[in-house]
Structure 1
Amino acid sequence: MTRVLVSGGTGFVGRFIVEHLIEHGYDVVIGGRTRAAPDFFSKPVDFAPMSLDPDIDASAAFEAIDSFVHAAFQHVAGRYRGGEGNDPEGFRRANLDGSLHLFRTARDRGVRRCVFLSSRAVYGASAPGAELAEDMLCQPENLYGELKLKAEGALGALSADAFRTISLRVTGVYGAAGVGATHKWQQLFSDYLEGRGVAPRAGTEVHGDDVAAAVRLALETDHRHLHPPVLNVSDLLVDNRTILAIVRDVTGCANALPEPAALADFNAMNTERIRALGWKPGGAARLRQTIENLLA
């Protein structure tokens, strides 16, 4: 049985990864500052103390670990872009220096594969309607995107036959939240159902379990031929009107929907590379089913 260490496994996205890997027969270890509550996951998982402090020895966490999934990220609560708050140097030290420390430790401890959760934020601004592809020039517009891009490059430089590495550029993630947390569209749903105005807005989205499936694919697939060693992970380009139209259908709410957003001007993500490896996200059917479940 493959033993996988997942940093940030109790986070919103990390929880999907852990549950998916458990379901598919992996032996999962959670790396983090505190142990999860006993009922946080569907099955018991091991815990290894781990920090994004680059001065703390992380060797013990990688004992008998086959693969490492790095999903941890230190930021101001609820914010990624702008997540540095008033401490950009601390943000950089934890999320770049700390990540590189973990990557090197994993390699030195004999871990065979490493998957890094990066972000579409590495791309920065592009021409209206231009598709974002992995081989294009990245020009991040914020510190979050800059650090993700630098971590991608540093991890790629460590790659070798004995240490296979890949970065997944993940877009906005939706799905049910964990115990005691609210989902990302909670406020959007409330604003619509209570008659408050909702502005037109578009975005690319992917379900948390589809992200987890991409992680598993990265752990199981020979991706040495990929240059650069990155994959886009995105499913749907949707706007608030599309999301709330499903809410209207499910609830019967008669409130007016927001105006359509200019979808043609938005930068969708090209996912041909990961789909060629066999990745099949849930699409519109999964979006609708998830919204129905969230409303229930």
Structure 2
Amino acid sequence: MKLLVTGSSGYIGRFIIADAKRRGDKVIHLTRSEPDEGEWLPFDLENPPTRLPTADALIHCAFDHIPGRYRGGEGDDPNRFLKRNLEGSVKLFEAAKDAGVPRILFLSSRAVYDGYPATTRLTEDLPLNPTSLYGQMKWEVEQALNNLDVIGTSLRATGIYGHPTPNSDHKWSKLFADFEAGKTIEPRAGTELHGNDLVAAIRLILSLPKEQVANQAFNVSDIVVDRHDLLKAYGEHKGLDRSLPSAVSKSEKAEMDCTKLNNLGWNPGGWPGLNKFVRAI
């Protein structure tokens, strides 16, 4: 398979590239900076290329934001944020269509649901209710993709954990380091998904007939992870005697219903997958 991948140097992009390399796929990296290996096409959301090479699919993960922030990633310049992320994505999709790329997969976010109470079971048929410019932008990019005459699919992904490559940093690297150092950890819970399970969802979508995935959005999430439970497992693995943060009620974090994707054959790793990740550190 030949893939065009934006944001291939980012955290999620590296999971996708590692999987493509294992499969022997050809990847064209669409990034600002040239990668260490592989074919490269300079890409910036502010000035996306008007011409793209043909490929089997475009996977759009690139997102321009203040480093370390998604919600609130616009900083003090919301107009520039929208121009780059919304208008830039639309121009990218149009260039892919003109190049004859038959499938486009867009990495959206659970932020499109943020306005719902924590007791809500989040399903794809709910009216979208973003409360941040980030969520609003993701929603509008989804709509723009649906208006193109291509096989367009959006994946509303939750938080991603795991090592994109062996021994690389991961989303909880600093959390674990602070815990080992005996620092006070604030209680928090969130919906989480291993990066390899996200990649499995992407591969499944790309393999299915167009009538099953075209102009659709799919929730992609796995488990609600409380820092108390996560750090308890990590502490036991490392033999650490540290103070744990208070447990958070699971009812304080809305769960994403992934039945729609499960029914197509997708099954993430759940708690066994998370425990395997912790034990491998």
TM-score over 0.5 for the alignment? Answer: yes
- Which of 189, 197, 200 pairs up with 2:176? 189
- Contact 2:159/2:190, CA 8 A, preserved across alignment: yes
- Which of 147, 153, 156 pairs up with 1:169? 156
How do residues 1-296 of structure 1 correspond to structure 2 at under 5 angstroms? 2-38=1-37, 45-54=38-47, 56-59=48-51, 62-158=52-148, 160=149, 163-176=150-163, 182-225=169-212, 229-294=216-281
Distance 2:165 2:207 in 1: 27
TM-aligned CA deviation for residue 178 of structure 1: 5.5
TM-aligned CA deviation for residue 68 of structure 1: 0.4
Q: Which amino acid aligns with 1:262?
A: S
TM-aligned CA deviation for residue 73 of structure 1: 0.6
Alignment TM-score, normalising by the size of structure 1:
0.90
| Higher mean displacement: 93-102 or 260-269 | 260-269
Distance 1:199 1:235 in 2: 22
TM-aligned CA deviation for residue 191 of structure 1: 2.3
Distance 1:283 1:179 in 2: 21
Per-residue deviation, residues 260-296 of structure 1 (Å, max 9, x unmatched): 10102310000001111111211112211212233xx
Q: Which amino acid aligns with 1:247?
A: Y
Alignment TM-score, normalising by the size of structure 2:
0.94
- Contact 2:160/2:195, CA 8 A, preserved across alignment: yes
Distance 1:225 1:214 in 2: 14
The number of equivalent residue pairs is: 281
Q: Secondary structure at the match of 1:165?
A: strand
Q: Which amino acid aligns with 1:275?
A: N
- Contact 2:124/2:218, CA 8 A, preserved across alignment: yes
* Aligned position for 1:42: none
TM-aligned CA deviation for residue 181 of structure 1: 6.2
TM-aligned CA deviation for residue 228 of structure 1: 6.2
Structure 1 residues 58 and 228, CA gap change in structure 2 (3 angstroms): closer
Stretches of structure 1 lacking an aligned partner (at least 5 in a row): 39-44
RMSD: 1.8
Q: Secondary structure at the match of 1:287?
A: helix
TM-aligned CA deviation for residue 200 of structure 1: 1.6
- Contact 2:179/2:242, CA 8 A, preserved across alignment: yes
Identity rate, percent: 38
Distance 1:181 1:131 in 2: 34
Runs of 4+, deviation exceeding 4 Å: 177-181, 225-228
Distance 1:58 1:6 in 2: 16
Distance 1:214 1:179 in 2: 21
Structure 1 residues 58 and 219, CA gap change in structure 2 (3 angstroms): same
Distance 2:213 2:119 in 1: 25
Structure 1 residues 228 and 57, CA gap change in structure 2 (3 angstroms): closer
Q: Which amino acid aligns with 1:155?
A: L
Q: Secondary structure at the match of 1:224?
A: helix
Per-residue deviation, residues 222-260 of structure 1 (Å, max 9, x unmatched): 252458610011011110011101111111111122111
- Contact 2:111/2:130, CA 8 A, preserved across alignment: yes
